[in-house]
Amino acid sequence: MPDIKPFLWFNTEAEEAANFYVSVFPNSRVIYVSRYGEHGPGPKGSVMTVEFELDGQRFVALNGGPLFKFTEAVSFVIECKDQAEIDHYWSKLTAGGGKEVECGWLKDKYGLPWQVVPDKWHEWLGSGDAARSERVMREVMQMKKLDFARMQKAAEGK
């Protein structure tokens, strides 16, 4: 199967954003930076694309100008093993101008939507136990950053 890479359109911040994401996630790196040549559309020598890797997942970022913006129609989900991990990614991704949204969603300082959720999310919501799913969702709908323990208690009916 061919590689499938998310392709992220930025105005002019592709390299800055790639470096930011690489700093947030372990085992991550910038792979290469390409630059615009004589025939643009960006200024000659400016960053055109950046390929980077976040813990094994490759991405490409493009400096394509202000034509397109990120929306919640596409987001990246980070499944966290505990509250400490949720807190870590939440604080890193909201730093410097990111925005808390609701129900575990946030937008980073570049406007890219993320969901920071417990790794038990699928178990709590997708097990076929409608009552458990309802209890967990009732709690989630009251939160911005998710509270792992509170969700666990709801899942257990406590």
For 7-55, write each residue's pLDDT tens digit.
Answer: 999 999 999 999 999 999 999 999 999 999 998 889 999 999 999 999 9
Catalogue all structural domains in the chain, each as residue range(s) with its CATH number. 7-63 (3.30.720.100), 76-156 (3.10.180.10)
**Three-state SS at 68:** coil
**First and final C-alpha spacing in the chain:** 45
Q: How many residues does the chain have?
A: 158
Asked whether the whole model's pTM tops 0.85, one would answer: yes
- Nearest CA to 12 out of 62, 68, 67 is that of 62
**Three-state SS at 69:** coil
Q: What is the pLDDT of residues 66-87, one digit of tens each?
A: 999 999 999 999 999 999 999 9
Q: What is the pLDDT of residue 127?
A: 76
- Which tokens is 7 given? 């392709």
Mean pLDDT of 93-104: 97
Sheet-wide strand order for 105-107:
76-80, 113-118, 105-107, 99-100
Question: Where residue 90 falls among pLDDT bands split at 50, 70, 90?
Answer: very high
79 CB contacts (<8 Å, ≥6 apart)?
A: 117, 118, 119, 121
Mean pLDDT of 84-96: 98
Q: What is the pLDDT of residues 103-149, one digit of tens each?
A: 999 999 999 999 999 999 999 998 788 999 999 999 999 999 999 99
137 CB contacts (<8 Å, ≥6 apart)?
A: 125
